[in-house]
Structure 1
Amino acid sequence: MLQRPRRGDPVWIWVLHGWEVFSWGLIALVTLITMAGGTPTDRKLGILALTAVLALCYGLVRTRPAGQPAAGYGYGYLCALVVVLGLLSYLGDGFGVFYTVTLTQFIVFADSPRGAVLFTGLGALAITLGGSLREGGQPDVFLTNTISSLGVWAVAVVMALLTPRALAQRDERAALRAELKSTQLELAEVYQRQGAAEERERLAREIHDTLAQGFASIIVLAEAARSQLAVDVDRSAQQLQSIEQTARENLAEARVLVGAAPRSGVAPGSVAVTLRRTLDRFTEDTGLDVTADLADIDCDRPTRIALLRCTQESLANVRKHAAATTVGVVLAHGPDTVELEITDDGRGFVVEDSHGFGLDGMRKRLAEFGGGLTVTSSLGDGTRILATIPLAPDSQE
């Protein structure tokens, strides 16, 4: 039995059910006109009783108890509808029109297209027999009624065949909507997981470039201070002061990472000033010879931070791995980029065999700005790091 239409159903389903409701209005109107007309009293009572019985059956099938099979109630009502239509056609002239009016009910209450076609055919047969018997069973009357009924039945067959197709379209659209909603939820979860992963990666990179490098520097300075404490007190005191300064910087960075301080950065202005302070600290801590050619370039804070982190990571690698004696740093302004070059005369390494977090972190950081990292090195020939970042003309603060 076809259920009440719901939101998203095809227009055909809404028309079908609208016609079902409208049919009861027409039945009531025709019945009232008959009751007020010149039909004999006994026939009036019969028509009124049959209409009441049909309405009662309709109410029962529409208010069937929950859990009861719909098909049994629907076919029971259709049997009653066929009988009532035949009797009404027999009792009164023109009541065969009720068959046309109630065509939608045959489709609504049937459980399948085959059932709808069968019961509409039985309804056509009932009104044909009823009307012919009322007219005395004359062959010409029977033939006329048959042709008329077959025409209406053909319309009913078309309706019965179209309805399942409309329902299939309804179900297909409902399935597509459900699939779309499910896909949207999955995408939202993917974006959420991706965002969380990117944030974890960003935090890991920040920790590596700030806290981890700071702690590594503290360890190296502490070892050097302890080894020289008995022979060079002044040098040890200077190294202890560097340890204190590095620890303070690490504390400030830690507060930034946990959100307890304003976003870290670097004071506004020339990136050369920022890099100069970093190089001076490096020279003071390691004693290496550092030459610097730093162009006076104004750029925005994110760019300055990226260049600073690349410098810090490169110098940390020099300290830990290169065994170099000299380091060169060049900051230059290209046509539309800022370029940072860091070289050393250390032991070098095979670039293809390097899978450290530091170099990967620098590449990803620069990629966020549309820049890139070029690493050139070989065993015994030192290392060259070239970082480039596009620099917009209006990127100054």
Structure 2
Amino acid sequence: MIGMTALAGPSADAFWATSLRRWNAVCWVLFAAMAVGIAALGRPGGGMYEALALLGSVVLCYAILDRFPDNPVVRPHGYLTVLVLALGGLAYLRTSYAALFMVTLPHYWMFGRTPRISMGFLGLATASTLLGSWLQQGWSAEFLGETAVSTLIVVAVGVLIGLWAHSVVAQSTERARLIEELERTQAQLSAAHQRQGAADERERLAREIHDTLAQGFASIVVLAEAARAGMAADPGRSAQQLRSIESTARENLAEARELVGPGGQAGAAVAGSAAPALRRVLDRFVEDTGLSVDADLADLDCDQRTRIALLRCTQESLANVRKHARASTVGVVLARRPYGVELEITDDGAGFVVEESRGFGLDGMRKRVAELGGRLTVTSSVGDGTRILASIPLVRGTEGAA
């Protein structure tokens, strides 16, 4: 309620709000009991009406503050000021001000906004009640022995309880702030993971398209140009190139269907040999380019992801040989090593400066091999050809095949 808003701010929990509503109900009951007591025990003309007026002013201010807690016109400090003056007046009138003092003791902490303001109003209330009693009793034994001592004891207990409650609420508020900050951080982290996942998926699709469809289309373009140029001079060769175009187009269509199909990895753990697929790629390369290929392919078993990586690295390397190397001989070696499988592709072409290469193909091969825990090494220099070495560890269950 209003006290909780003043003490802990918007992060107050339901427990404290419920406790304050109950305390408000207790206050109203005790206000009514005090009014009845003053009217029943007081004597007309003996300060009864003045005491009822002071109590009524406190009740009225409290009711307004309780009814309009968020109204900027209604100031909690105004209510505390009226309470301080009323306590002094009731003490001067020798009424039961002690009951009102104890009932309203938590109000200084509820409406004081800060511990310093609460302590200030509590000190003023203590001074006001002691001043009123002193003006009425003087430096008597009753004032010194009962009134002053009991008032100071009640105030000390109230200060300790108030400081403890304020510390508890402050800790609760800090915990709520930290929890809110943690939830916000988790939401940001989740969004970042989603964005990173989407970026990784786009990169994966781009790599797959580059290694399959793009290479196939490039091969189709080269074969079509060659077939058109040799249509009159060598019809047999052109017909063979057209058949290669047809075969490549069918393979591209199959690759496209696989890319847009479900992306499950159900067959990723199924072992099989990579050599047959590599031989088909090499045979197609020889048929399309006429280059000499020296292949030594060990018939070893590996999982599907490794077979795909070996196949894509071979396709990309041969595509680079066709487009850039101007080579006459290509060597391909697939071998079993103690740590796994090793694919080596060499050519006697023009070579290049590896550090200056900015192509998507080499970077895609490196990432594809790295995803399997392997490493891709590219060695080349201008005029000395190129050597690509892919080393991939084999998963358990496929290491027994050789």
Answer yes or no: same fold by TM over 0.5.
Answer: yes
**How far apart are residue 53 of structure 1 and its match?**
4.6
1:318 to 301, 305, 321: 321
| Partner residue in 2 for 1:244 | 246
2:109 to 100, 107, 115: 107
Are the aligned partners of 1:31 and 1:48 in contact in 2 as well (CA < 8 Å)?
Answer: no
| Partner residue in 2 for 1:343 | 346
| Partner residue in 2 for 1:211 | 213
Instruction: Give the alignment of 1:218-297 within 5 angstroms.
Output: 218-259=220-261, 269-297=272-300
Equivalent-residue separation in structure 1 for 2:194 and 2:140 (angstroms): 79
1:304 to 304, 307, 310: 307
Are the aligned partners of 2:11 and 2:173 in contact in 1 as well (CA < 8 Å)?
Answer: no
Could you list the per-position Cα deviations for residues 103-152 of structure 1 after superposition, in whole angstroms to 9, with x for gaps in the alignment?
11122223444443333233223433555566x54622222322332333
Are the aligned partners of 2:278 and 2:314 in contact in 1 as well (CA < 8 Å)?
Answer: yes
* SS of alignment partner, residue 293 of structure 1: strand
Are the aligned partners of 2:11 and 2:177 in contact in 1 as well (CA < 8 Å)?
Answer: no
Structure 1, 214-223 or 307-316: larger mean CA deviation: 214-223
Structure 1, 217-226 or 183-192: larger mean CA deviation: 183-192
Equivalent-residue separation in structure 2 for 1:384 and 1:208 (angstroms): 21
Equivalent-residue separation in structure 2 for 1:264 and 1:284 (angstroms): 34
| Partner residue in 1 for 2:72 | 68
Which amino acid in 2 is paired with 1:372? R
| Partner residue in 1 for 2:58 | 54
Equivalent-residue separation in structure 2 for 1:272 and 1:159 (angstroms): 82
Could you list the per-position Cα deviations for residues 201-255 of structure 1 after superposition, in whole angstroms to 9, with x for gaps in the alignment?
1122111111111111111111221222112211111110000111111122223
| Partner residue in 1 for 2:331 | 328
Are the aligned partners of 1:295 and 1:332 in contact in 2 as well (CA < 8 Å)?
Answer: yes
Equivalent-residue separation in structure 1 for 2:70 and 2:42 (angstroms): 43
**How far apart are residue 41 of structure 1 and its match?**
6.0
| Partner residue in 2 for 1:141 | 142
Are the aligned partners of 1:256 and 1:262 in contact in 2 as well (CA < 8 Å)?
Answer: no
| Partner residue in 2 for 1:189 | 191
Which amino acid in 2 is paired with 1:200? R
**How far apart are residue 52 of structure 1 and its match?**
5.0
Equivalent-residue separation in structure 1 for 2:279 and 2:225 (angstroms): 26
**How far apart are residue 284 of structure 1 and its match?**
1.2
| Partner residue in 2 for 1:82 | 84
Structure 1, 60-69 or 372-381: larger mean CA deviation: 60-69
Q: Structure 1 residues 109, 379: closer, same or farther in 2, change over 3 A?
A: closer
Q: Indicate whether 1:120 and 2:108 are aligned.
A: no
Could you list the per-position Cα deviations for residues 14-45 of structure 1 after superposition, in whole angstroms to 9, with x for gaps in the alignment?
79947844752772585388489x73564897
Under a length normalisation based on structure 1, what TM-score does the superposition of the two structures give?
A: 0.83
Could you list the per-position Cα deviations for residues 48-84 of structure 1 after superposition, in whole angstroms to 9, with x for gaps in the alignment?
66555533321111112744245xx312222332344
Q: Structure 1 residues 318, 112: closer, same or farther in 2, change over 3 A?
A: closer
Are the aligned partners of 2:91 and 2:133 in contact in 1 as well (CA < 8 Å)?
Answer: yes
Which amino acid in 2 is paired with 1:248? R
Structure 1, 194-203 or 107-116: larger mean CA deviation: 107-116
Are the aligned partners of 1:16 and 1:104 in contact in 2 as well (CA < 8 Å)?
Answer: no
Are the aligned partners of 2:215 and 2:319 in contact in 1 as well (CA < 8 Å)?
Answer: yes
Q: Structure 1 residues 178, 235: closer, same or farther in 2, change over 3 A?
A: same
* SS of alignment partner, residue 96 of structure 1: helix
Equivalent-residue separation in structure 1 for 2:375 and 2:31 (angstroms): 83
| Partner residue in 1 for 2:203 | 201
Equivalent-residue separation in structure 2 for 1:121 and 1:349 (angstroms): 87
Which amino acid in 1 is paired with 2:315? Q
Which amino acid in 1 is paired with 2:233? V
Are the aligned partners of 2:333 and 2:345 in contact in 1 as well (CA < 8 Å)?
Answer: yes
Structure 1, 278-287 or 148-157: larger mean CA deviation: 148-157
Which amino acid in 2 is paired with 1:331? L
* SS of alignment partner, residue 338 of structure 2: coil
Are the aligned partners of 2:351 and 2:384 in contact in 1 as well (CA < 8 Å)?
Answer: yes
Which amino acid in 2 is paired with 1:224? A
Residue correspondences, number: 393
1:377 to 373, 380, 384: 380
Equivalent-residue separation in structure 2 for 1:241 and 1:199 (angstroms): 34
Q: Structure 1 residues 258, 75: closer, same or farther in 2, change over 3 A?
A: same
Under a length normalisation based on structure 2, what TM-score does the superposition of the two structures give?
A: 0.82
Could you list the per-position Cα deviations for residues 344-380 of structure 1 after superposition, in whole angstroms to 9, with x for gaps in the alignment?
2222223233222111110010000001111222333
Residue segments in structure 1 that go unaligned for 5+ positions in a row: none
**How far apart are residue 165 of structure 1 and its match?**
5.6
Percent identical across equivalent pairs? 53
Q: Structure 1 residues 143, 261: closer, same or farther in 2, change over 3 A?
A: closer
Equivalent-residue separation in structure 2 for 1:61 and 1:179 (angstroms): 33
Q: Structure 1 residues 306, 44: closer, same or farther in 2, change over 3 A?
A: farther
